[in-house]
Structure 1
């Protein structure tokens, strides 16, 4: 029923909690996971512009920022991919640059997935919101069913 699923993550505690639910989905037929980490274009611009005057020009700093983010993300992707592959799942990785909600919905369409498994909150983890802005966008705009994994209320994860 859910042979190909999309697992978007920003590698925060709340979003990675969804990873724990993927093995249970193998009983529902999951054989492949599309692992998506969106490199937020606004985040890169914000980080890079903060370095102007201190760490070089904006273009130089943006390149350095992108390199650092890419290295950090690559390590986390490798670890997550290996964990899924150890469970016997085929894993495809996508790391688009853009707006997270939009890119997640686009990836789900492009990959023809049957389910999106997403954490209720990402890095911002705003306690007073029922859902994070990215998960809310995905729920409202995806054509596929969306399984939202709730964060631990006590731990904020």
Structure 2
């Protein structure tokens, strides 16, 4: 299960990526739209800015814009930013690898093998799907709904 912080980060990224090109989104507007505590959202947006995903502008037309195109920001990247390594076992982690304390031989460990399969599958999806992909599919589904109405 992902944390509220990660979920709110995804919501904020979607809102900012949906804004017309060059138009900044105010954090207060995002917080109001998604019922996110404003101070908490500011911390999340700061983390996204420090990670080089967003940029911020001050002033009357200030707010947040995408620093990188939405189709280059993966779900895996954002999730790792807020949740840390995604591996279910320390012996599968690329960022925080360590051998399990009770492991005799990683090469023959059945637990590592089975969780490795699940981890590889989820990592493949998360590291290949972008915020841009999600937005494109959402727009297509909306178009299909409008056409069938």
TM-score, normalized by length of structure 1?
0.31
Larger RCO, structures 1/2 (Cα 8 Å, 6+ apart): 1
Q: Which has the higher helix share?
A: 2
Q: Which has the higher strand share?
A: 1
TM-score, normalized by length of structure 2?
0.32
